[in-house]
Chains A and B, each alone.
Chain A
């Protein structure tokens, strides 16, 4: 073993490994709940028009909400405001805004989920403590924006399943069940982020010895062969590299 990995290399790697391990506890926003990604309706956000989405959170906090927004009218720079309430008629408990100048300046369908240029606009705020399964209400509006220059968001309207509700200024606008396209995040750690990604990566994939075993085995094989190659390269005889070609 010492021939393959000298003790000095192992000792040198230890601090790097400890540092990498410590990074697993760094705080980051971790994906929590998401709506369906398929959209069939454009929503307009303007002065006096507030869309409110009922969201069932899955984590233990709510720290960020991402939606798909575009500014096709390319109007003057104005704010788009996201508010979070615990009750539809209750006070705003978290608020965040982005400027329209930061949004995609074109048709919102160009950046829809699954498109080549898929783009989500993120609203971050101080983590809001919640219980898993609790319902919160996310509202979007664009104060100061005239209706003809409305900012666009994407939503899906389909058969009613009683899962969620999308309202305009507190009123249902359709017999169908509406869902704004959204993603929510909870405050977690880098380790939690990797765990979510790992879970999604291995879900339903072909494999043997347990799906995770396949990935770990292949990853280890790739790392070992690459490491051995680099080591062999480093050990290639000294004295090469003369001033002229061979």
Chain B
């Protein structure tokens, strides 16, 4: 009950902070927000017959969900329309935090650092708060990714249930219609759930039936809605990548690329807010984050080798180890996708932390498990320090960002 009360406060805080930032963010200040808003507006104005804007290649689900918000403010000035349509992202952000809590509690039970840590990390990550305050389909991809993580962790932890495969198929559809950044975690989840079913001979027929259903659905979708499928799967882009961009010369350039700049830019955009591109926080902030990650990695190794995970006397057994493998696989696959983006553009500017956000739940679970493993006797204090420092980082960097942003008059 205590945990639930704390969670409610965390969700209220997330809601209040995101709303605050959504009102204060510059018009079209989110990542590619103008193009995303044009998608929403043109879909609303033409009833979906003509989609305009630089993001018109994106799958349509987020923009469909945004229609009620757009309709509510259609006759208002653009500045008000933006604030109203941003509400969708805000609520998706709150849902993301809730799903992180459910996944963490399912895996680790009531231990405070392990069950409340992951939602705290997501709720107070400044880049996540900033993204929640902008019109972008990234937020839908994040929530679908979190849903997939919850389903997979539940399956690996407690074993497959009757509804696991239908739910996976049910989540695959919004995943396909959200954004291609959710594909890595979809692949990892599908593989993990299939493995969990395959291990139990009694469930193998169900797995084969689900595969058959998937193949049939894909065939029907291609038959009746090939353009939509192609758009959702970004097939033209993939085709260009295979036929035009995978060249030996380009690969050599990629391997010679300055990865240090890429890593620094990735860390910066993962931690701090997006809308102010010129915003660099003092370097000790990034150094502290990097040190925290290294500390957690060491703790994870320590936990893995010790008696914590896999010991016969705690509730995490037997699925905990498998679930953490799944988390690591999802994060690694997402990293490969991010590297592919770097290869595609051959530019450091392609390093954007938000491409990792669909795996924020697995990532934060690993991070908090690592913090726990590093100092198990100080879990309660670690959680408090983590929450306080992230809250300070979030409030401080957002406030600093807005002061810098608004030093000069901007068009409304």
A→B interface (CB under 8 Å):
31, 34, 116-119, 183, 193-194, 196-198, 200-201, 203-207, 214-215, 218-219, 221-223, 225-226, 228-230, 232-234, 236-238, 240-246
Q: Does B110 contact A (CB under 8 A)?
A: yes
In chain A, what residue has the closest Cβ to B76?
Answer: A206
**10 sample A-B contacts, Cβ–Cβ < 8 Å, listed by A number:** A117-B277, A118-B278, A203-B409, A222-B17, A230-B388, A233-B116, A244-B308, A245-B111, A245-B309, A245-B314
Q: Would you call B6 and A236 a contact (CB within 8 A)?
A: yes
Indicate which residue in B307, B384, B403 contacts A193 across the interface (CB closer than 8 Å). B403
Indicate which residue in A194, A203, A233 contacts B412 across the interface (CB closer than 8 Å). A203
In chain A, what residue has the closest Cβ to B123?
Answer: A229
Give A183 to B409 CA distance when docked, in angstroms: 12
- Known contacts A205-B79, A233-B116; can you find 17 more A-B pairs with CB under 8 A? A193-B403, A200-B407, A200-B408, A200-B410, A215-B23, A215-B24, A222-B17, A225-B9, A228-B9, A230-B384, A232-B6, A232-B9, A237-B2, A240-B379, A240-B380, A246-B314, A246-B315
List B contacts of A197 (CB < 8 A): 402-407
Chain B 349-383 residues near chain A, CB threshold 8 A: 349, 372, 376-383
Q: Would you call B16 and A240 a contact (CB within 8 A)?
A: no
List B contacts of A200 (CB < 8 A): 406-410
Q: Does B181 contact A (CB under 8 A)?
A: no
- Report if A241-B13 is in contact (Cβ < 8 Å); known contacts: A116-B349, A204-B412, A233-B6: no
Q: Would you call A245 and B108 a contact (CB within 8 A)?
A: yes
Q: Would you call A222 and B320 a contact (CB within 8 A)?
A: no
Chain B 6-40 residues near chain A, CB threshold 8 A: 6, 9-10, 12-13, 15-17, 19-20, 23-24
List B contacts of A242 (CB < 8 A): 376-377
Which residue, A183, A203, A240, has most C-beta atoms of chain B within 10 A? Answer: A240
Q: Would you call B16 and A218 a contact (CB within 8 A)?
A: yes
Give A229 to B116 CA distance when docked, in angstroms: 11
Give A218 to B76 CA distance when docked, in angstroms: 22
List A contacts of B12 (CB < 8 A): 225, 229
Q: Would you call B408 and A244 a contact (CB within 8 A)?
A: no
List A contacts of B108 (CB < 8 A): 245-246
User: Shortest distance in angstroms between A14's beta carbon and chain B's nearest beta carbon?
Assistant: 19
User: Shortest distance in angstroms between B160's beta carbon and chain A's nearest beta carbon?
Assistant: 23
Give A66 to B315 CA distance when docked, in angstroms: 62
Q: Would you call B79 and A204 a contact (CB within 8 A)?
A: yes
Q: Would you call A241 and B113 a contact (CB within 8 A)?
A: yes
List A contacts of B408 (CB < 8 A): 31, 34, 183, 200
Give A238 to B378 CA distance when docked, in angstroms: 11
In chain A, what residue has the closest Cβ to B379?
Answer: A241
Give A245 to B320 CA distance when docked, in angstroms: 10
